[in-house]
Amino acid sequence: MPAFKYRHVALWVTLVVVTGLTPLMPAHWLGNWHDFARVMECWTFVLSVPVFSKFLVDGGQAVRRLVCASLCWALLLCARAPVAAMALREVLTLFGLLMLVLAVGAAWRLVDYRWILARGLSGAAGAYAAVALTIVLAAKMSDVPLDNGSIFFGYDNPRFLNHAQVVFIPLLAGISLSTLVSQRWRLLVRATLAIQFALLYFSVGRSAGLALSISAVAALAFGRMGRRLAIEITGCAAVGAMVYLALFGTSLSAGDHVVDTLHASADLTSDHSRLYLWRIAVEDVRSAPVLGIGPMHFAHYLNRSGAHPHNFCLQVMAEFGLPFALIVLGALATALVRRLRRMHKEIAGAEHIELAAVMACVAIVCDGISSGNFVMPISQMWIAIAAGIASAGSPSKQFVSQAVWPRAFFTGVLFAIYVAFAMNTTWVWSERRVVAAFAGEQVGMADHAPLRPRFWLDGWF
């Protein structure tokens, strides 16, 4: 086996551990799951650096110019931002996600190793569902009140799980129809989907539910395979509804309180401060339309509701400026439309999970209009996996020639060392601020500011 393939296996295993198993890991040494997942995510970026270096080596001069131009523009935005270190952290994160998307796409083309990701991620999602089901059953048998902290373990907010469900529910549906796993494994995946849907209903994930519904309808346009995928998602959703009724009765949990009926709760018809945050983002666009207020700098100016605007388009426009946002968002929209057209043409020879990944991208876009799925670390990882599989194209047994790989890998290792140093520096810098806060020192944050997540769980600068 060529040496580079071992690196792809390492990438698969790391993705399974970080994306699928992080919610099951004890994160008390960092104080919360969000920060633990962020640290794990950063090290996954480092693993994908050599593959990105290969992309630059093989991509040609036009690709290298485009990447350099984008980086120069982003660094310019960082340099003029009020807090350059925080802006640089956001740029590194987004750049790391791009590297991860390319790395997943490259590894997915190695058809011999697809089963590692299919079994690993579905198995990790199944393990989470099994533990959640055990907690609920134990609580009911012991007559102990249920709360979000115990049911949605691994996520500091139930919405963080909803963001991930928008991505992995379509992917799991694709795996349940795929030949990459056995018939027994597909039954376990369907049971996992039913429990995940029950958790989605219990958390009242309105945006996630709407996004999944739109993606299931969109799948109908892709012939027999699309219809099978839509039926699979709909069937598991129906079984999940029965599981929900069996476990929780007719009550719905919304936040920290329980509502008895779906239509009587004001919480279910509330915008949850979305309009308030969107107005702030629009004002930020008006105040700095060309260069923006600075990457991640929505979290620099305190407000009462959130450190991000819960709308990815407005977030990019406000923080990076209209020119950069129009180029990036236009490129993403064009890539999605082209992939949908190409999938429609290649549907006869495609895998179910490849169509599921494309439908997951549709759901991600729909969810991103009214949520923070592009901000949270676990959902970012799932988004990178779905985007990587969707963009992979036709499979290939040979990823890169041995003549090209050593130069790309050597360059990647050097850059990986730099990225690791930068990540550790920002981590230590953040920890110093946390220690100062516990020591009672002034760190520039108002005492009344609510805790809102962004890069860390405490997302305010």
Mind listing the pLDDT tens digit for each residue in 388-434?
898 886 554 444 434 344 444 454 455 455 455 555 544 444 444 44
Q: Could you read off the pLDDT of 263-318 as tens digits, one per residue? A: 345 556 666 788 899 999 999 999 999 989 999 999 888 888 888 999 999 999 99
Q: For the chain, 461 residues long, give each residue's pLDDT as a single digit of tens.
A: 344 455 556 666 667 766 777 777 765 555 678 888 888 888 788 777 777 777 777 766 777 787 788 888 888 888 888 988 889 889 888 888 888 888 888 778 776 778 888 888 888 888 889 988 888 888 778 777 766 667 888 888 888 999 999 999 999 999 999 888 888 999 999 999 999 999 999 888 889 999 999 999 999 988 888 999 999 999 999 999 999 988 877 554 444 444 333 334 555 666 678 889 999 999 999 999 998 999 999 988 888 888 899 999 999 999 999 998 998 888 888 888 888 888 877 776 677 888 999 999 999 999 999 888 999 999 999 999 999 898 886 554 444 434 344 444 454 455 455 455 555 544 444 444 444 443 443 344 444 456 788 888 888 87
The total number of structural domains in the chain stands at: 1
CA 424, 427, 428 angle in degrees (round to 5)?
90
Note whether 319 and 307 are within 8 A (CB): no
Of how many residues is the chain composed? Answer: 461
Q: What is the pLDDT of residue 398?
A: 42
Phi/psi for 254 (5° steps) reads -135, 100
455 belongs to a structural domain: no
- Write out the H or E segment, with its range, that includes residue 204: none
Please report whether residue 8 resides in a domain: yes
Residue 390 contacts residue 358 (beta carbons within 8 Å) = yes
What is the residue range of 262's domain? 3-438
Burial of 19: CB neighbours in 10 Å, binned 0-12, 13-18, 19+? buried
Task: Report DSSP state, residue 266.
Answer: G
Q: For residues 204 and 244, is the Cβ–Cβ distance under 8 A?
A: no
Q: Residue 254 has which token pair?
A: 């919304």
d(CA 320, CA 107): 31
Please answer whether residues 33 and 88 qualify as being in contact, where contact means their C-beta atoms are separated by less than 8 angstroms: no
d(CA 345, CA 347): 6
Distance of alpha carbon 215 from alpha carbon 439, whole angstroms: 49
Q: Give how far Cα 365 sits from Cα of 24, 64, 193, 360, Å.
A: 27, 27, 21, 9
In whole angstroms, what is the distance from residue 129 CA to residue 120 CA?
A: 14
Give the pLDDT of residue 34: 84
Q: Is 361 exposed, middle or buried, given 0-12, 13-18 or 19+ CB atoms closer than 10 A?
A: buried
Does residue 449 lie within any of the structural domains?
no
Q: Residue 447: inside a domain, yes or no?
A: no
pLDDT score, position 363? 95
386 inside domain: yes
pLDDT, residue 441, reads: 39
Q: What single DSSP character describes residue 272? A: T
Q: What does the radius of gyration of the chain's CA atoms come to, in whole angstroms?
A: 22
- Tell me: the pLDDT tens digits for 131-154? 888 888 887 787 777 666 678 888
**Angle in degrees, CA 395, 397, 398, rounded to 5:** 115
Q: How far apart are CA 12 and CA 351, in angstroms?
A: 18
Do 20 and 425 meet the contact criterion of CB atoms below 8 Å apart? no
What φ, ψ does residue 77 adopt, rounded to 5°?
-65, -40
| Strands of 324-461, DSSP E | none
453 is a domain residue: no
